[in-house]
Structure 1
C-alpha cells in the first residue's frame, strides 16, 4: 500500500513524535507507511466498535439515547471548572496523602471518573444526532480537560495512590478512547504526552507475569490498554505485546483465576464471578478479537476456542430470560440499577453477539438464536429499552432482534453442577433455580472497596429461583438493599449480629470444610453442603435434590452456641412496593396486612399467590412474616444511592431456637405450582420418601421418578445403598430397564470407594476409568480407584437392570 501523506500528517495519524517512533528526517519507508495505514484502519475500527454501527440516529430507541447523550454532555461541559485539584468541583482528586485508605480510594476514583466524563463528551462530539456533533466549543473543552488532567494528576511524574484499578485500567481505557475519538483534533505533542502517562502507569511489566492483579478479566483489561496505546501512539510493539499477553487467559485452569473445564469462572482466587469479572473478560476478548481481526496483529492463538466454547459452557447456564444470576456476580450485586441483574445480563448478551463475529458460522448462528430468545423473553426489563446499555451494545442487540433469518432458541432444561465454584443451576420448563455455597476454596462472599457490605450469608446455601413469566423481579427490584440479610432464601443462619464487611475484603473468609458439591446426570441432581457459619459456631448439613417439578430441601445436624436464634429460611419473597400476594397454609388464607406474623404448627403445605408452593413432609412448625423493609443502596455499598427504598416481603422459616443441638428441616419447593397442585402433593404422602435426614447421611427416594439420591457425609447404609466413605450418589431407574448411577467425591479426598446398590443388575453397559471393579447379580457392587483428582466431577455408570 502506498502513502502520499506529508510527514506532519503521518505523525498526527500515527500519534507519535519522530523521536518516539525512532524516525529521522529521511523519507517514509514502505513498511512504515503500511503500518501507518494499519493504525489508521484500527482507529477507525475502534471508533465503530465503541460508537456502534448499523442504526439510524433518527430511529428509536437510538434517537432518544443520542439526545440523552447530548444532554448529559452539555451538562458536563457547563459544569466543568478546571482548578488545582479537580476538573469538576464534585470530583476532587487533590489530596495524594489522605487520612484513610477509603479516602485515597475515593480520590483515585474521582480522577478516573473525570476521564469517564471526558469520554462521554467525546462520544457526544463524535456521534450523530446528539445536538453536539462536531461542536467546536465542546471540542475545545474536551481538549482543555485532557490537558488539565494530564498536567495535574495523570502524567509520567505522578506517583500512584488509592485504587490501582483506576490508574492502570479505568483511567487509561477512558483516556485512550477519547484519544481515538478526538484523534484528528489532537496535536502530536498531546498524543505523545498522553502516551507517556499511560506508559508510566501501565508499563510493559504490567503483563510480564500472570499473577496478582494481572490475571483473568484484569489481564484482558490491561491488554486492551496496551493495544490501544499502541494504536494511538503508532507502536507495533505495544500492539503485539498486548495481543500476546492475552495468551495466559485462554487455557483452562485448575486453581485460582480463570475458566475451568466444568464451566466455572473464578476471579480474586476464590470468588465465582461469571456475571461480573467474567462478563468483562468475555466482552473484552470479543472486542479485541474483532478489532485485531484482519490486521497484522490478529489473535490466532488456538486457545480462542476455549473462550468460544465457554459461551455455552460457562455463561449461558447462568443467563435466564435476559438476566445473569446474582450468585455468580460477586460484590456487583450491591451496585444500584433499575434492574441490576438484567442490566448485567444485557451487557453479556451484547458481548456474545460481538464475539460471534469471530467464531465459526455455526457458533455465530446458534449464539444469535440464544440471544434473540433471551431478548424476546425478558418481559421484566426489555433489553432494547435498557438505559444502562451503550449505543454500540444496543445496536448489536437490535440487529439480532430484527434479524428475520434468526430463530429464537428456547431456554434449555437440565441441570448443571459447577464443582470448582460450588454453584449449581437447575432449569425446568417454566422456571429456573440456582444454589450458592462455600467451602475451603470458595469464599462465603466478597466485599471490598466498600461494596457488598452485608453479603455475609450469600454462600450459606442461598436458593434463588425465577419463573418464566413471573417472579423475575424478586432479586431485580431493590432486593439487596431492602432484604433482611440474615434471612436469605434457602440459607441456614445464626442471628448473631455481624459487622459490615465481616470476614475481610476480597473473599478472605472461607469455611474450613471440604464436603460441598454433588452428583448429577444432567437432568437431576443430589447436592450437599457442609455448612459452617461465618464468624459463628453454627454447623449444619444441607441437601438439595433437584427433580422434575420441584427441589427437595433437607437440613440436619444443625447446632450452634452463639446464644442467638438459628433459622432455616424456606422463602423470602420480594413482593415489590405494594404487593399483597396471598399466603395460604393448609388451605387457610392468611391476612395480607403489613406487618403481620404467625407461628403455624402442623403445617403440611403453604402457597404464595402468583409464585409457588411449599410442601412440608410429615408436617412442621413454620413461622410466617409480612413486613415492609426500608433500605438504601448506600447501606450495602458506600458509593451507592442514598435514597430510601421500601419493599414488602413475605418470609417463611423454620426456627431452630437458641443454641440448637440437632436441628432439622424438610420441605419441597414447587416453583409455579398453584394451590391445588401444592395441596395434592402434600396429600400424596408417598410421593417422596425421606430415607435419611441426619448428621451422617441425607437421602430421598421418589418412586414415581425412579429417583434415589443420597449424600453420604460419612460412609454407611441408606435405603438400598451402602457407601464405604463420604460421597454423593444419585440413581435414576428408567422405563427401558436401564439405570444411571452418578457418584462424586465432593471432598476431593477419597483414594478408594466402594458402593453397593441392593438391586438386581444384569450388566454394566458403560463406566468411567475411575471404576476399577464392578460385580452384578442380586446387587451391584462398584469399586472406585483414586477419586481425589476428579475435582468433584460426577462419575456416571449405566447398567441394565435384572
Structure 2
C-alpha cells in the first residue's frame, strides 16, 4: 500500500473486534426490514429512501414461489459463507481481502488493495441484502445485523473515512465503495444511528466531492458520470441534502446529448467508453442501469429529471442496445474487456459472466427504464423483453444466478403481463461510430467487429483481456435462432486459439499478452473501415493492418438473406510468419458428435484430425452451417482439436481452473509472407447439407465482380443485389466511383435503390455513375445531387464525415 495509507491499529485476535461489537451493539427488536412502509416517510428524503429500498429489494416478491425461492435461498447460502469467513483483523475484514500493506512493492499491489476494499464493502452489501430480503434464512437476524454494523465500523475506521488518502484504482473510491456503502445505509438506515450516517456521509463527501462532476472530462463521462451521479444522489438521500440531489440530477445532463467522437451515445446508435472502445454491453449497460434507477428514484419528486435530453436515453433502447441483443444474449463485439471475465475469483462462490448473463442485465434495465418512459415505449419494450425471456433456451433468463431479486421481480412482472412477445427483427444495422455491423435474418444473426484509427483492435487493462488481439481484425460472430447460442458463452475465450478467431485475417507472428498497450491504445493507422446498407442488405469493408505486424489486407463482407459473402484481397505480410484467413472456428462444446462433410464426403470425427482440402467447393458442419468456396478453395485447411485453457490465462483476476472444449476450425492458409493473396467464401448459417451443396452447384447465384486490392464487389442476380467496395476510384461492372466509397444497389421490379457511403470520412464529394438506363430519380436524400439520367445515371454524393449511408431511389428503363 502507498505510504499515504495509514497503518491500521493491531487487534487482539482475528475476531476480537467482531465479538466486542456484538457485545456493545444495541440490538433492536427482531423485524423484517422489508416490511418498511410509507408510514416511516417523515419527509421527502425518507420517501426517496423507501423508493430506493424498493428498487434494491424488489416488490411483489413471493419468497416461497419460484423463481424467487431458489434465488433467495442461494443468496442466504452465499451470505452464510461470507459471514462465516468474516474475521476482522489489522488491514482486513476477510482474510482473503487484505486492503492494507505498510510497504507496497508495486502500483499493481495498490490496485489490488483498493479492489479488495471495494470487494469487502460489496460483501457487506450482500450480507445486508440477505438480512433485508425475505426467505433467505437470515432475514431479520439481529446477530447478523450487529456483525454487519461491526464490519462497517471496521472498514470506516481503518480505510474509508474522511481522513484517508486514496490509493490504487480511483473507481473503487469514487464509485464501487460508496455505491455499496450507501445501499447498505439505505437498507439499515433505521439502525445506523446519526453518528454513523454522518461519518459515512463525510467519507463519501471526501472521496466524491461535487468537483467530481464539475467538468465532463476524464473519468467523469458516460457510464462513469452516471455512476458518480448515483453516488451523489444517494448521498443526498441518506444525508438529507437537497443540494446533493440537485447536483446529481443536473450533472446527468451532459450524458444525454449525442457525441460525434469519444465517450457516449452517438446518433447512429454507437456507444463508446474509454474513447476508443465499443462498449454497449458493458459500460453502456452500466449507464443504462444507472439512469433507469435514477429516473425511477427521482420520478415525481422535487428533483425529477426533466431535461428534455433524456429522450436520447429512451431512444437508445432500440437504437443502441436492442440491436446487440439476440435470444437474450448481448453480443461480445460490444463488451470490451468484459469478455474475459468468465469466472471471477471475487467471492467464495465465484461470479460468472458470459454474453447471456450480460444480455440479461441489459434486459432487466430495459424493464425498469420502461417505468419512466411513455406508454407507447413501455408497450414496445415490454413486448421485446417478453420475447427475449421466451427465446433464451440456452440460458433461461429467469434462472440467471447473476440477476438480483429486484431485477428478477421486474422481469417476472413483464413475463406475467399482457404485452404480446415480440419476435427478433430482421434487417441490417451499421454502426460507423464504432466500426461494428449487425445483420439479422430469419433464423440467425451475425455481428462484425473491425478496427480503425478511431476504434481499437481490442481493450485490455487491469490484467484483463490479455489475448483478444485480433478480435477487431474482422471477427465475424453468428448465432442461430435455436442453435449455436452457446458458441461464445461456453468458455470460448480461454480455450479458443486466439490467432484463429472466426472471420479474421491474421499473421501468426507471436504476440505478447496485452500487446499494443492498455485501454484501447492499439489502433491501426487506417481510415477506410465501414460500409453502406439499405436496412436489409449491406456491403461492409475493412482495410486491415495487423497488430504489431506488417500484415495488410482488404476485407469485404456482403450480408444477404441466407448468407454472408466474404472476400479478401491484397493480403501481404513480411513478418516471417504464416498468414491465415479463418473461415470458421466453432466451439463444439465438451461432448457430442458433429459430422463434417466436404463435397459430400464425410470427414473423420476423431480429435487431432487435420487435412488440407485444396479444391473443395463446399463444406458442411452438422447442426451449424454450410460453407461454399466459389471456384474451389485454395489451401483450405481443417482441424478438429480439444483445447484447454483457464480464464486466468486471459484475465489475471479470474478463476484458475482449466476448461477443455472441442473445436472444428477451417482456415485458408496464405503461406509465409504472402504477396497480394486473396480468398472468397460464402457463409450460410443454419444451412442443411443439401442446401449447401445446391448453392455450390448453382454457379449463377453469385458473380464476383472484383476481388483485388483496389476494389471488391459481387452481384447476386436472384436478389437484384450489387455491392462494391471501392478502396480506390475505379470501375467495377456497371458502376464507376470517382472516389473511395462503399456502394450497394438493389433492383426490385421497375425501381432500384442506390446506397452510398464515404468510409474515409473526409467529406470529399463522391461522383457515382451507374451504366444502366435510368429515366428518372424518384426520391433522394438532400446529400445526393443528380448530375444526369437517361442512358446512364450519374450522382454526386456529399458524404459528410460520419460515414452515413446516402440514398436515392430511381426508376429503371
TM superposition score category, shorter chain reference: over 0.9
SS at match of 1:70: helix
Q: Tell me, yes or no, if structure 1 residue 356 matches structure 2 residue 367.
A: no
Question: How far is 1:156 from its partner?
Answer: 1.0
In 1, Cα distance between equivalents of 2:700 and 2:808: 28
2:207 corresponding residue in structure 1: 201
1:367-394 Cα offsets, whole Å, 9 max, x none, are 0000000110000000011111111111
In 1, Cα distance between equivalents of 2:44 and 2:82: 34
In 2, Cα distance between equivalents of 1:417 and 1:365: 26
Q: Tell me, yes or no, if structure 1 residue 435 matches structure 2 residue 441.
A: no
Kept in 2: contact 1:725–1:750 (CA 8 A):
no
SS at match of 2:778: strand
Question: How far is 1:636 from its partner?
Answer: 0.5
SS at match of 2:684: strand
Question: How far is 1:773 from its partner?
Answer: 3.2
Q: Tell me, yes or no, if structure 1 residue 341 matches structure 2 residue 334.
A: no
Kept in 2: contact 1:417–1:518 (CA 8 A):
yes
2:21 corresponding residue in structure 1: none
Kept in 2: contact 1:764–1:774 (CA 8 A):
no
SS at match of 2:413: helix
1:591 is aligned, of 561, 584, 604, to: 604
- Normalised by the length of structure 1, the TM-score is 0.95
SS at match of 1:555: strand
2:346 corresponding residue in structure 1: none
User: Where does 1:700-739 land on structure 2 (aligned, <5 Å)?
Assistant: 700-735=714-749, 737-739=750-752
Question: How far is 1:214 from its partner?
Answer: 0.3
Question: How far is 1:774 from its partner?
Answer: 2.9
In 1, Cα distance between equivalents of 2:298 and 2:781: 42
1:733-780 Cα offsets, whole Å, 9 max, x none, are 002x00000000001014222111011101001112222333111110
1:544 corresponding residue in structure 2: 557
1:365 corresponding residue in structure 2: 379
In 2, Cα distance between equivalents of 1:549 and 1:49: 43
2:570 corresponding residue in structure 1: 557
C-alpha distance 393-535 of structure 1, shift in aligned 2 (>3 A): same
Q: Tell me, yes or no, if structure 1 residue 221 matches structure 2 residue 224.
A: no
User: Where does 1:156-195 land on structure 2 (aligned, <5 Å)?
Assistant: 156-195=162-201
Q: Tell me, yes or no, if structure 1 residue 286 matches structure 2 residue 292.
A: yes
User: Where does 1:17-28 land on structure 2 (aligned, <5 Å)?
Assistant: none
Q: Tell me, yes or no, if structure 1 residue 310 matches structure 2 residue 316.
A: yes
Kept in 1: contact 2:537–2:560 (CA 8 A):
yes
SS at match of 1:619: coil
Comparing 771-780 with 228-237, greater Cα deviation is found at 771-780
Question: How far is 1:788 from its partner?
Answer: 3.5
In 2, Cα distance between equivalents of 1:495 and 1:172: 45
Aligned length: 766
Following TM superposition, where does structure 1 have runs of at least 4 consecutive aligned residues deviating by more than 3 angstroms? Answer: 33-36
C-alpha distance 494-293 of structure 1, shift in aligned 2 (>3 A): same
2:130 corresponding residue in structure 1: 124
1:574-593 Cα offsets, whole Å, 9 max, x none, are 00012321110011110000
1:748 corresponding residue in structure 2: 761
Question: How far is 1:215 from its partner?
Answer: 0.2
1:505-531 Cα offsets, whole Å, 9 max, x none, are 100011000000001000000000000
Q: Tell me, yes or no, if structure 1 residue 609 matches structure 2 residue 597.
A: no
In 1, Cα distance between equivalents of 2:42 and 2:550: 65
Kept in 2: contact 1:339–1:477 (CA 8 A):
no
Kept in 2: contact 1:326–1:333 (CA 8 A):
yes
1:403-428 Cα offsets, whole Å, 9 max, x none, are 2x110000000000000101000000
1:643 corresponding residue in structure 2: 657
1:796 corresponding residue in structure 2: 807
1:324 corresponding residue in structure 2: 330
In 1, Cα distance between equivalents of 2:215 and 2:131: 39
Q: Tell me, yes or no, if structure 1 residue 693 matches structure 2 residue 693.
A: no
1:17 corresponding residue in structure 2: none
Q: Tell me, yes or no, if structure 1 residue 481 matches structure 2 residue 487.
A: no
1:520 corresponding residue in structure 2: 533
SS at match of 2:517: coil
Question: How far is 1:79 from its partner?
Answer: 1.5
In 2, Cα distance between equivalents of 1:201 and 1:742: 52
Q: Tell me, yes or no, if structure 1 residue 269 matches structure 2 residue 275.
A: yes
SS at match of 1:645: strand
C-alpha distance 774-365 of structure 1, shift in aligned 2 (>3 A): same
1:462-505 Cα offsets, whole Å, 9 max, x none, are 00000000000100100001000000000000001100011111
1:547-582 Cα offsets, whole Å, 9 max, x none, are 011000000000000000000000000000123211
Q: Tell me, yes or no, if structure 1 residue 424 matches structure 2 residue 437.
A: yes
Question: How far is 1:141 from its partner?
Answer: 0.5
In 2, Cα distance between equivalents of 1:626 and 1:71: 41
SS at match of 1:617: coil
Kept in 2: contact 1:96–1:161 (CA 8 A):
no
Q: Tell me, yes or no, if structure 1 residue 625 matches structure 2 residue 639.
A: yes
Kept in 1: contact 2:130–2:136 (CA 8 A):
yes
1:187-224 Cα offsets, whole Å, 9 max, x none, are 11111111111111101100000000000000000000
Kept in 1: contact 2:612–2:638 (CA 8 A):
yes
In 2, Cα distance between equivalents of 1:552 and 1:70: 52
Across the aligned residues of Structure 1 and Structure 2, the Cα RMSD in angstroms comes to 1.2
1:216-254 Cα offsets, whole Å, 9 max, x none, are 000000000000001001111001101110000000011
Kept in 2: contact 1:97–1:104 (CA 8 A):
no
